[in-house]
Amino acid sequence: MIINLLLLFQRTLAYYFSTLFERFFKRAQINETQQGQQLMSSSSSRPPVNEDVAYANFTLFQKRSEKARESLRKALEADETRANKKGVILLYKSAMRDFESALSTRLSSCPPYKHAEIRQQQEKLGNFLESVKDRLTKLGLFFIDFSKLFSLLS
């Protein structure tokens, strides 16, 4: 009886906090999207300094994208095989930072003939980032620091 009540309480808390974190991440994502659109619109008219710099920026974008995908692969593999979810959360956070780094590449700093490819890759990376945030939200429910949560709410 007590165990059933505890399980019900845990599920209720999980639902409450998942909706809370979902709202928080969506609000943060909307702000990031607006900032990204402002950067894209304000800087897209300027050409890069020269072709070598532009191609170096494109190469850097490719390396960051590959690193982000590799970080996500490691996090997913650990999520499926490890029982220690705290370590998995750290791997997902690392992947999230890598995705944000790749997404921070400005389109105008790369060669114009690569813009379509970069846009397409950034859209995919953005979807991966959203998936990572969703998974972190679900995993985070098990390791909530209530003092931090209550300070956020007040």
Cα separation, 13 vs 5, in Å, equals 12
* Per-residue model confidence as pLDDT tens digits over 36-67: 555 554 444 455 468 889 999 999 999 999 99
Q: Which domain holds residue 26?
A: 2-153
Amino acid at 17: F
Amino acid at 87: G
> What pTM was estimated for this model as a whole?
0.61
- Whole-angstrom CA distances from 133 to 4, 74, 85, 109, 125 are 30, 16, 15, 27, 12
- What CATH number is attached to the domain comprising 36? 1.20.58.80
| Count of domains observed in the chain | 1
